[in-house]
């Protein structure tokens, strides 16, 4: 289950980053088209991309290395994995137990 959830979550977070980059590029080029102040559009774009990057970094750098470890570190890593995956639980490809 853990391996399947890691693969699933990596794919979703990669998609999220790609979507954030695309959206930020689109809105930043013509914010008036979307009725958004240019400064607000730029700030939101930075926030969206940074959020996606942070989620990927958290998964790769702090969760995956500790999955399967014994004790508190392993339990914490599995808990963090499930927290990161929680927004996607209704996704059609979510690997339910």
pLDDT digits (tens, 9 = 90+) for 23-47: 888 887 888 888 888 888 889 889 9
Mean of pLDDT values over 5-29: 93
Q: Which CA distances in Å does 76 have to 72, 73, 80?
A: 6, 5, 6
Buried b (16+ CB within 10 A) or exposed e, 52-61: beebbebbee
Give yes or no for a contact between 9 and 60, defined as CB atoms under 8 angstroms apart. Answer: no
The two structure tokens encoding residue 79: 């808990």
Distance from C-alpha of 57 to C-alpha of 21, rounded to nearest angstrom: 16
The predicted model scores a pTM of: 0.86
């Amino acid at each position: 289950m853990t391996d399947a959830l890691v693969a699933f979550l990596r794919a979703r977070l990669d998609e999220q980053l790609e979507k954030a980059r695309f959206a930020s590029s689109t809105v930043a080029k013509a914010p008036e088209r979307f009725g958004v102040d240019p400064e607000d559009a730029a700030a939101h774009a930075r926030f969206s991309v940074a959020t996606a990057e942070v989620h990927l970094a958290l998964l790769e750098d702090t969760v995956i290395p500790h999955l399967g470890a014994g004790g508190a570190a392993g339990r914490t890593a599995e808990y963090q994995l499930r927290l990161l995956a929680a927004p996607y639980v209704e996704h059609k490809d979510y690997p339910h137990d």
